[in-house]
Amino acid sequence: MDTQWPLWEVFIRSKQGLDHKHVGSLHAADAQMAMENARDVYTRRREGVSIWVVESKHIHASNPDEQESFFDPADDKAYRHPTFYQVPDSLTHI
Amino acid sequence: MFEANHYPEEVNVALSDFLLRMADTSLVLGHRLSEWCGHGPILEQDIAMSNLALDLIGQARNWYQLAATQLGQGQSEDDLAYLRDAGQYRNLLLVELPNGDFGQTVLRQFFFDAYHFHYLQALTESGDENVANIAVKSLKEATYHLKWSSEWVIRLGDGTEESHRRMENALRELWEFTGELTTPNASDQLLTIMGLTPDLNLIRPLWEQEVQVVLAESTLEIPNRSWMQKGGKNGVHTEHLGFLLAEMQFLQRAYPNCEW
């Protein structure tokens, strides 16, 4: 019998941050316990104002073996960056 | 740091007695919880209990500082914590009991939190603004503590056969130490008349309500024993407190005035 509780991934939004950032993982029996464990383990030093927890099994990751076909084709397409435009002087705050 | 408030002598004696009880209770429970550090059932709960311990020791510091201020005998918070013997400690008996297994620690915490939360909530209305301020600050922490311990009592009580059995044992061990939580002593009675602390007789139904709801959900039965232990508030303790203090106070006793 597997006596280990499921693994959860923890995401925290800091006071200044707009996005939740992955901070680590932990074990918990259910979402409620995962939330409280995340509070106790990852926000002891005022790291956050919001927590997301996701059971790790629900995360589908890209395959490291496909690294080349997945990511290399973007390497030589610098024109996809919006750096080839003249920005009119009257436009500020860009 | 606090400014001392001036009261008639007998009121100040009662107030100091109350402040030491609040301080001693938080310190002793904080120390008990700290004994779990490195021994928790899982890493996450090891940290959770250390967090509870640190909250309580922080609260104890506030109460000791205020007690030292009201006593006005030039003692520091450290003097009060490290240089008084068991007979001078005023903590509730419940919190000095050994940790037992995780279930017993959780149930002890729940019984305490259910009292602490409602008592602190009422203390925020204290006529002494220093007391009210400490209560406001502590209440946020106590709110989380109560959530944590309630949920664990429910999980373990309504869990596996083994966890249920362990919670029943814990209930048998601890029940007779719960009466003291909401039983006023002479100091309480005087302070309530003076409007400085709430009437513990009014806290009792709130505590009972909290306990009934959580134990029912935990499928645990409230023991129908009414005889209760008492004594902690007046300095009469179980044999366990002396051992706890011997460990906690060792450094100051062996090396007086040492600092690091």
Pairing of strands A50-55, A21-27: unpaired
Query: In Å, how far is A34's CA from the nearest CA of chain B?
Result: 9
Contact A32 B151 (CB under 8 A): yes
From B144, which residue of chain A is nearest by alpha-carbon distance?
A36
Whether B148 has its CB under 8 Å from any CB of chain A: the answer is: yes
Whether B44 has its CB under 8 Å from any CB of chain A: the answer is: yes
pLDDT at A81: 82
Contact A40 B48 (CB under 8 A): yes
* The CATH number fitting domain B9-254, selected from 2.40.50.140, 1.10.3720.10, 3.40.1390.20, 1.20.1260.10: 1.20.1260.10
Report residue B130's pLDDT band, with 50, 70 and 90 as the boundaries. Answer: very high
Chain A CB contacts of B51 below 8 Å: 40, 44
What is each CA distance from B76 to A39, B42, B46, B83, B138, in whole angstroms?
34, 37, 31, 10, 21
Question: In whole angstroms, what is the distance from residue B40 CA to residue A92 CA?
Answer: 56
Q: Of B23-27, B126-130, B197-201, B256-260, which gets the smallest average pLDDT?
A: B256-260
User: pLDDT: is B177 or A87 the higher one?
Assistant: B177
What is each CA distance from B55 to B77, B141, B241, in whole angstroms?
16, 7, 21
Whether A26 has its CB under 8 Å from any CB of chain B: the answer is: yes
User: pLDDT: is B186 or A83 the higher one?
Assistant: B186
Number of other CB atoms surrounding residue A94 within 10 Å: 6
**Residue in the block written with tokens 């130490």:** B177
Average pLDDT, stretch B186-195?
A: 98
pLDDT at B56: 98
- Total domain count for chain A? 1
User: At A75, phi and psi to the nearest 5?
Assistant: -60, -40
Which is nearest to A15 in space by CA: A52, A56, A44, A46?
Answer: A46
List own/partner pairs for B193-197 with CB under 8 A and 24 or more apart.
B194/B7, B194/B11, B194/B127, B195/B126, B195/B127, B196/B11, B196/B15, B196/B18, B196/B126, B196/B127, B196/B128, B196/B131, B197/B18, B197/B123, B197/B126, B197/B131
Chain A CB contacts of B42 below 8 Å: 5, 27
Is pLDDT at A51 greater than 90 in this prediction? yes
Domain limits at A51?
1-58
- Counting residues of chain A whose pLDDT is more than 70, the rounded percentage is 97
Whether B151 has its CB under 8 Å from any CB of chain A: the answer is: yes
Please state the separation of Cα B32 from the chain's center in Å: 11
Report residue A77's pLDDT band, with 50, 70 and 90 as the boundaries. Answer: confident
pLDDT at A74: 87
Contact A33 B151 (CB under 8 A): yes
From A30, which residue of chain B is nearest by alpha-carbon distance?
B155
Is pLDDT at A33 greater than 90 in this prediction? yes
Report residue A94's pLDDT band, with 50, 70 and 90 as the boundaries. Answer: low
Report residue A18's pLDDT band, with 50, 70 and 90 as the boundaries. Answer: confident
Domain boundaries, chain B: 9-254
Contact A41 B47 (CB under 8 A): yes
User: At B240, phi and psi to the nearest 5?
Assistant: -75, -30
Question: In whole angstroms, what is the distance from residue B20 CA to residue B129 CA?
Answer: 17
Contact B47 A36 (CB under 8 A): no
User: pLDDT: is A70 or B187 the higher one?
Assistant: B187
Q: What CATH code is carried by the domain that includes residue A40?
A: 3.10.20.520
- Residue A27, in any domain of the structure: yes
- Residue A52, in any domain of the structure: yes
The answer to whether B16 and B71 have CB atoms below 8 angstroms apart is yes
pLDDT at A75: 86
Report residue A12's pLDDT band, with 50, 70 and 90 as the boundaries. Answer: very high
Average pLDDT, stretch A21-40?
A: 96
Question: In whole angstroms, what is the distance from residue B62 CA to residue B138 CA?
Answer: 10
- Chain A to chain B Cβ contacts (< 8 Å): 27
- Residue A48, in any domain of the structure: yes
The answer to whether B31 and B248 have CB atoms below 8 angstroms apart is yes
Is pLDDT at A47 greater than 90 in this prediction? no
Report residue B260's pLDDT band, with 50, 70 and 90 as the boundaries. Answer: confident
Average pLDDT, stretch A64-75?
A: 89
Chain B CB contacts of A5 below 8 Å: 42
Whether A5 has its CB under 8 Å from any CB of chain B: the answer is: yes
Question: In whole angstroms, what is the distance from residue B243 CA to residue B238 CA?
Answer: 10
Quick: pLDDT tens for B57-108. 999 999 999 999 999 999 999 999 999 999 999 999 999 999 999 999 999 9
- Counting residues of chain B whose pLDDT is more than 90, the rounded percentage is 97
